[in-house]
Structure 1
Amino acid sequence: MKTRTVQRTQLVPHTIDGRTELVLDRYTEDIPVPPRDWDRTILTAVTAGAAAIGAACVVWSTASIGDLLARATVAPAAYAAAAVFDLVWLSCMALEWLARYDHARAAFPRRVGYWALAIAMAAIATHGWIADQLAIGIVGAAVSGLAKTMWTAVLRHHAKPLDDRTQQWVDKQRAEAGGRLAMVAVRRELTRADALVAAERAALSGNVPETVPETPDDEPEDPEPPAAPKPYGPMTITDAVRTAISAGVTEPNAVVRYVRQVADANAKEDSILRTLRMIRKTA
């Protein structure tokens, strides 16, 4: 039996001067190596081969259908549209793979994939017919058909069929997980609604102070700048900028001085001003 050496660690007591502590002890151990899983190796090789066939199919059908569409439009647009034909049924195959444990959910992408494949094959055959090479068009259409058949066989081998009771159990577990995921958005919406209701109630109850606009005659000739808020630090640069704005300090240099006073004495001016612009924009 083949073995391989691995390094492991364990906690062992170690005593010095009558004091015992647990320390890491490293040791090596030979463990048996399991035999090669040839089934998994072959399945991986077949899956890689199916991926290569799918890539070759996309290249061939894009070139053929692109040449067909280029007769009516510019080449870049024609080949871009031609790539859609095979990418649609390949995407449906991917969705079928994701639903391999749910036969009902996999049925719809499987049907759409077959329809997309039929349209792609018809377009390739049409290109051969218009170019007076119908045989080549039919053979080219068969390339897409073979690629689809290959992928269908691979997916069916990977799929794990479930009996009716197990499928019901899986569906209930998925529904429960989906419910918890949906509640994240619902709670976010409820929190936002509660905040709006609280603000509306505060406004109706008169807790919001009324502001009376001053006339030009009431304004002093040399108004003094608002005093900087008291430093409550330590705080982050963002919190310091918000505190300064809430206190009426909006002049950039004053904000920079306040942030350096309560948050970080070495804070870069560019970072502070960028934070100030971001908060003003989101306010």
Structure 2
Amino acid sequence: MKTRSTQQLVPHTVDGKTRMVPINVDAPAPPRDWDHIVLNGVTTIAAVVLTASVVWSTASIGDLLARAVIEPAAYGAAVVFDLAWIACMAVEWLARYDEDRAALPRKAGNVALLVAMLAIGAHGKVSGFWEVGIVGALVSGLAKGLWTVVLRHQTPPLDERTRAWIRAELADAGASLSLIPVRRKVQRAQAQVDAERIALGAGSDRGSANPDRSGDSADDSDAEILQLHPNAPTTKDAVRIAWDSGIRDDAEAARYVAKVTGKAPSPDTVARYMRLLRNGVAS
């Protein structure tokens, strides 16, 4: 029996403390998975055929287009013909669990392949070798057909109820994902509304203030106590509102904070809060 060295966790106690430590042990080697080996071989062959198809079609279509434009532009456009149906085939593979969504990239891929084959055939006709054009066009068709077989083999068969369940799950996930930009837009708009409301409220309070405090009594026990305004924003809150409103300049943010809070903030403090917001670490 073939064996292979592998690691296994075993308990080991030192000074009364037990830990799981790895040790090397010889374990029976599993039998070869020939199905997987064959699938890897077929996938490698399909990749080689696809590469050859892209090279051939690019050279053929590029030579055809080079009769009218410069070669770099001609060959750059020629590679698009194969890349189009290859990209459609990749999207079809990504949608393999939803037959309805996979139908569109499959049809688009077939159309792109047909266009590429016609272009290769046209090159053969223009060059005077129509047989070469037909055979060259079949190279792209064989590459597409081989990859279709490989991808179909790896696509798990699903019944209609399972497909419906998957579509419902994707719909729920898509709904949650679509709400992210909506919430951001609502929060941005709400921040602007709050900033405007606070600014107007702060201006009203300053207009009604009594700066000379002539009505205060010298014997008033509360004369030296700083009056608290629970609704007034802090410098940090004002910087956050300015940031949510789209202000990114430190000096402009400082002017906004002074307008909202009614006092000139420390430029260093405003710059520090703005730097934290730029780095995404402010709470």
One-letter amino acid of the structure 2 residue matched with residue 32 of structure 1: P
Give the distance between the partners of 1:129 and 1:25, measured in 2 at CA: 71
Structure 1 counterpart of 2:193, from 189, 197, 216: 197
| Structure-1 separation of matches of 2:53 and 2:22 | 54
Report the alpha carbon displacement of residue 121 of structure 1 after superposing the two structures with TM. 0.7
Q: Does 1:186 align with 2:182?
A: yes
Partner-residue secondary structure (3-state), 2:128: coil
> Residue 78 of structure 2: SS of its match in structure 1?
helix
Structure 2 counterpart of 1:96: 92
Q: Find out whether 1:135 has 2:135 as its counterpart.
A: no
Query: Retained in 2: the 8 A contact 1:89–1:116?
Result: yes
Counterpart of 2:19 in 1: which secondary structure?
strand
**What corresponds to 2:38 in structure 1?**
42
Three-state SS of the structure 2 residue aligned to 1:34 is coil
Q: Which amino acid aligns with 2:170?
A: R
Distance of aligned partners of 1:202 and 1:31 in 2 relative to their CA distance in 1, 3 Å threshold: same
The answer for the alignment partner of 1:239 in structure 2 is none
* TM-score, length of structure 2 as denominator length: 0.70
**Partner residue in 2 for 1:3:** 3
Take 2:114 and 2:4, find their aligned partners in 1: how far apart are those partners?
52
Q: 1:208 to 1:113 in 2, by over 3 A?
A: farther
Distance of 1:162 and 1:182 partners within structure 2: 27
- The letter for the 2-side match of 1:9 is L
| Residue 26 (structure 1) shift | 4.1
| Pairing 1:20-99 to 2, within 5 Å after superposition | 20-99=16-95
State the alpha-carbon separation in 2 of the partners of residues 116 and 201 from structure 1. 57
SS of the residue corresponding to residue 30 of structure 1 reads strand
SS of equivalent residue, structure 2 residue 157 = coil
Residue 166 of structure 1: aligned partner:
162
- 1:229-268 aligned at under 5 Å gives the runs 246=254, 247=265, 249=267
Residue 182 of structure 1 and its aligned partner are, at CA, apart by 2.0
1:157 lines up with 2:150 in the alignment: no
Residues 147-184 of structure 1 show CA distances to partners (whole Å, capped at 9, x for unaligned) of 11111111111111210111111111112222222222
2:142 to 122, 143, 146: 146
What is the CA-CA distance between 1:22 and the residue it aligns to? 3.2
Aligned ranges for residues 105-144 of structure 1 at < 5 Å?
105-144=101-140
Note closer, same or farther for the CA distance 1:188–1:12 as it changes in structure 2 (3 Å cut).
Answer: farther
Write the letter of the residue equivalent to 2:8.
R
Secondary structure (helix, strand or coil) at the match of 1:36 reads: coil
After TM superposition, the score normalised by the length of structure 1 is 0.70
Question: Do the aligned partners of 1:202 and 1:208 also contact (CA within 8 Å) in 2?
Answer: no
Q: Secondary structure at the match of 1:204?
A: helix
* 33 and 176 in structure 1: CA distance in 2 versus 1, 3 angstrom threshold: farther
- Give the AA of the match of 2:19: V
Structure 2 CA distance for aligned equivalents of residues 73 and 208 of structure 1: 71
Residues in 2 aligned to 1:209 and 1:6: alpha-carbon distance in whole angstroms: 76
What amino acid sits opposite 1:126 in the alignment? A
CA deviation vs aligned residue, 1:98-122 (integer Å, no higher than 9, x gap): 1111111111111011111111111
Shift of 1:197: 1.4
Q: CA deviation at 1:28?
A: 3.5
- Aligned-partner Cα distance in 2 for 1:165–1:46: 32
In structure 1, C-alpha distance between the alignment counterparts of 2:28 and 2:170, rounded to whole Å? 38
2:241 is matched with which residue? none
Q: Distance in 2 between matches of 1:74 and 1:190?
A: 52
Structure 2, gaps ≥5 residues long? 207-249, 255-264
* Structural RMSD (CA): 2.9
2:26 partner SS: strand
